[in-house]
């Protein structure tokens, strides 16, 4: 019997049908296994992407915590520097000491500080102003430099008014200004009630 004749017989047709059925079953099993592996692979990719996102979030949080600690230190230094420029203790003595130290580094002369008054701060209810009057002499450039130094040294201060008048000495003027300095609030400790 030759091969072509066998395929034309009834047994040959059954063999072909059986071979096709076997190929279909093998293909179905292979497709199911491959699809199952693809599904597992996709699930692993999704889990890996979520873990990468979680790691990036955790790294950002760790970086933020470190930056927050640095910012906290910088903020405390900033607050300490500003509190150092606020009037505290004996107000007039504090103003005399601070203004005298500033005037020594400047080329103005005859600095006179008059006693001031404490007035409430309009915008910050916990604070108040110590308003004093300063008089000093120098040429226009020296006066301007001293005023700029006051503004830079006392960043929270307000210069309320400035007057400059000619003096009898050539090239010399007499300046006066009202300076409002922030008063450091007095913090009273809270006492816990006795139980």
In contact, 143 and 82? CB cutoff 8 Å:
no
73 and 124 inside one domain: no
6/149: higher pLDDT? 149
Q: Using one digit for the tens of pLDDT, what is the confidence trace for 179-189?
A: 888 887 765 55
35 and 105 inside one domain: no
Any domain includes 191:
no
Q: How confident is the model at residue 177 (pLDDT cuts 50, 70, 90)?
A: very high
173 and 155 inside one domain: yes
Q: Using one digit for the tens of pLDDT, what is the confidence trace for 68-127?
A: 878 887 877 776 776 666 666 677 788 888 888 888 888 888 888 888 888 887 777 777
80 and 102 inside one domain: no
Out of 67, 84, 101, pick the residue that ends a domain: 84
95 and 165 inside one domain: yes
Q: Using one digit for the tens of pLDDT, what is the confidence trace for 22-64?
A: 888 888 877 777 777 778 878 888 888 898 998 888 888 888 8
> Which residue range is the domain that position 121 belongs to?
91-183
Domain count, the chain: 2
79 and 100 inside one domain: no
Q: What is the mean pLDDT of residues 9-24?
A: 84
116 and 165 inside one domain: yes
Any domain includes 2:
no
16 and 35 inside one domain: yes
48 and 100 inside one domain: no
């Amino acid at each position: 019997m030759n091969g072509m004749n066998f395929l034309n017989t009834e047994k040959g047709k059954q063999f072909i049908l059986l071979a096709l059925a076997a190929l279909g079953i093998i293909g179905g099993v292979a497709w199911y296994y491959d699809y199952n592996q693809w599904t597992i692979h996709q699930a692993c990719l999704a889990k890996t992407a979520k873990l990468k996102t979680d790691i990036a979030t955790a790294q950002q949080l760790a970086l933020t915590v470190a930056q927050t600690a640095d910012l906290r230190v910088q903020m405390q230094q900033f607050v300490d520097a500003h509190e150092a420029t606020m009037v505290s203790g004996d107000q007039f003595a504090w103003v005399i000491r601070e203004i005298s130290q500033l005037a020594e580094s400047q080329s103005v002369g005859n600095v006179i500080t008059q006693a001031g008054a404490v007035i409430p701060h309009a915008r910050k209810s916990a604070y108040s102003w110590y308003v004093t009057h300063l008089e000093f002499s120098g040429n226009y450039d020296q006066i301007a430099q001293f005023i700029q130094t006051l503004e830079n040294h006392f960043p929270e201060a307000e210069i309320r008014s400035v007057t400059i008048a000619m003096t009898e000495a050539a090239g010399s003027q007499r300046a006066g200004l009202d300076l409002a300095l922030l008063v450091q609030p007095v913090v009273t400790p809270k006492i816990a009630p006795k139980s």
